[in-house]
Amino acid sequence: MRQRKSAIGFTLLVKGLAMKGKKVLSSWMIEKFFKENFKEKNMKKSLLVILTMMLGLILVGSAIAGLSPTSGITDSYHDLGTTAATYGDTGEQGGQNRICVYCHAPHNTIKLGSPEAVDGMGNPVEYLPLWNHAITDMAAYEMYSNGPLAPTTGDGALNAIMGQPTGVSILCLSCHDGSVATNAYGAPGTSSVGAGDKTMTGRALIGGLNISTGLGDLSNHHPISFDYAAADALDDEINPATTSMGTFGKTINDFLFGGSVECATCHDVHNGTEAVGVRLTYVDDDRSAFCLTCHFK
Ligand code: HEC
Ligand code: HEC
Ligand code: HEC
Ligand code: HEC
């Protein structure tokens, strides 16, 4: 959203400049200035140059706005108001179809250190941005593994040292692992988080129960909850965290949470339809450009 805002900001700035330009051009004072300082022929030339520059600025403005990676959360996958039949509620929000309420509320949200702020493994949840949704129940997760015959040294080894999912990933898993209902959020007017009755199924189920082990299963998903710099130090084919990621001058660092790669390092939960990338990713994955941001292959 921030990226979108700066694009809009820039467009407004350019529009402002253009409007200022119009005023300047119509102003008799400037006309007088030109008449006094330039011959007729030169003045026409100068006006042409100014107009061309203005047009250029406007074109650049719209090109940057067009690069915006997001069209916002409204009507997106995470607008549960519009997916009410499958994952949201019908009529439980005073008929207002509120978007943010499934995840955030302005008041009486889950408090750091409270009994509700503990995940199924008994660990405290350490990132609660006015969080208004029940936390995952999964008792443990099986983390990513590439098999017993994988290389154990050098670039080919798995250098990402993963603990159990933490922080923001726990928030994502609180819907995506299917252990808690998507509509288990604090009902308006109360401070409690409701039980909910709709759980994630199908392709969007990430980290769901592995029947054979009884664990939440992340074993065949991209590693998460590991220190980026530590993996980078052991793997020459990982780009440094100062590498630029996406547009608007951001680097990989800007997308790490306490130095860690998490679900939200790759995905923008407030993103809209897949205008640019696939599946709400921060970077368009055309020709795998997203993977190549971090992987030097
Ligand atoms: C499906 C869950 C979900 C919904 C719906 C949602 N958010 Fe969030 N929000 C999150 C998560 C997860 C984070 C922390 C991860 C992150 O920032 O990427 C977050 C972080 C934030 C933050 C703090 C970090 C930042 O980006 O500034 C703000 C502010 C925020 N959300 C506002 C909103 C508003 C406003 C809405 C409704 C228009 C909304 N969110 C809807 C899940 C959600
Ligand atoms: C934000 C940076 C980042 C992005 C984006 C990213 N990765 Fe990774 N990926 C990593 C890091 C860091 C590791 C850990 C590397 C290691 O252990 O040496 C990793 C691990 C992996 C592994 C496991 C390697 C092994 O040894 O088993 C594979 C495969 C992989 N990534 C593929 C991808 C693909 C495909 C994409 C695009 C869809 C992608 N990655 C996107 C940073 C990223
Ligand atoms: C309140 C519940 C909830 C939370 C919390 C939540 N999601 Fe989702 N998410 C959904 C629902 C519902 C869908 C739509 C699933 C479907 O269409 O089957 C979805 C869809 C997605 C998709 C697109 C799936 C597709 O089919 O393309 C991605 C990616 C995603 N979520 C990532 C995240 C990440 C990352 C986080 C945490 C930063 C997160 N979600 C937090 C409920 C949630
Ligand atoms: C390294 C980057 C990366 C990380 C970390 C990551 N994802 Fe994804 N995710 C992707 C990409 C890229 C796709 C699109 C894959 C495709 O379209 O084939 C995707 C797809 C998805 C989808 C759509 C389902 C599908 O199979 O296409 C969901 C839902 C999702 N991710 C949720 C999550 C959750 C939840 C986490 C954390 C547990 C997470 N992702 C961590 C990169 C990532």
> Which parts of the chain are beta strand (E)?
141-142, 209-210, 215-217, 226-227, 260-261
Rounded CA-CA distance 97/89 in Å is 8
Q: In the structure encoding, which two tokens stand for residue 260, read together?
A: 């860690």
Cβ contacts of 54 within 8 Å, gap of 6 or more: 17, 18, 21
Please choose from 70, 76, 77, 276 the residue to mutate so as to test ligand 3's pocket, defined by most ligand atoms within 8 A of CB.
77
Alpha carbon distance 230, 207 (integer Å): 24
Name the residue at shortest CA distance from atom 27 of ligand 3.
279
- Atom 1, ligand 2: residue with shortest CA distance: 294
Nearest ligand to the CA of 202 is 3
Taking the CA of 162 as reference, the closest ligand is: 2
Any atom of ligand 1 within 6 Å of the Cβ of 73 = yes
Q: Quote the pLDDT of residue 92.
A: 67
pLDDT value for 186: 86
* Residue 93: per-residue pLDDT: 65
C-beta of 176 in contact with ligand 4 (< 6 A): yes
What residue type is assigned to position 101 of the chain? V
| d(C-alpha 92, C-alpha 81), whole Å | 10
> 224, 261 in Cβ contact below 8 A?
yes
Torsion, CA 280, CA 281, CA 283, CA 287, rounded to 10: -100
Tell the residue nearest (CA) to atom 37 of ligand 2. Answer: 291
**Ligand having the closest approach to the CA of 294:** 2
As given in the structure block, the two tokens for residue 8 are 């809009």
Which of 240, 268, 183 is closest to 1 using CA atoms?
Answer: 268
The preferred substitution site among 206, 217, 288 for testing ligand 4, maximizing ligand atoms within 8 Å of CB, is 206
Q: Which atom of ligand 2 is nearest to the CA of 156?
A: 26
pLDDT tens track for 213-234: 999 999 999 999 999 999 999 9
Residue nearest to atom 39 of ligand 1 (CA): 100
Residue whose CA is at the smallest distance from ligand 2 atom 42: 294
Would you say the CB of residue 208 lies under 6 angstroms from ligand 4?
A: no
**Regions of the chain with pLDDT less than 50:** 1-69, 274-275
Give residue 49's pLDDT.
Answer: 42
- Give the span between the Cα atoms of 272 and 113, in whole angstroms: 32
Q: Cα–Cα–Cα angle for 116, 270, 131, nearest 5°?
A: 15
The tokens describing 136, both together, are 């995952």
User: Ligand 2 centre and the CA of 167: distance in Å?
Assistant: 20
The reported pLDDT for the residue numbered 73 is: 86
* Mutation test residue for ligand 1: of 3, 77, 96, 104, the one with most atoms within 8 Å of CB: 104
- Taking residue 247's Cβ as centre, other Cβ atoms within 10 Å add up to 17
**What's the gap in Å between 168 CA and the centre of ligand 3?**
13
Q: Are 141 and 164 in contact (CB under 8 A)?
A: yes
Query: b/e string for 50-77 if b means 16 or more Cβ within 10 A?
Result: eeeebeeebeebeebbeebbbebbeebb
C-beta of 203 in contact with ligand 3 (< 6 A): yes
Contacts 24+ apart (CB under 8 A), 205-208: 205/176, 205/177, 205/178, 206/172, 206/173, 206/176, 206/177, 206/263, 207/138, 207/141, 207/165, 207/173, 207/176, 207/177, 208/177, 208/178
Residue 110: CB within 6 Å of ligand 3? no
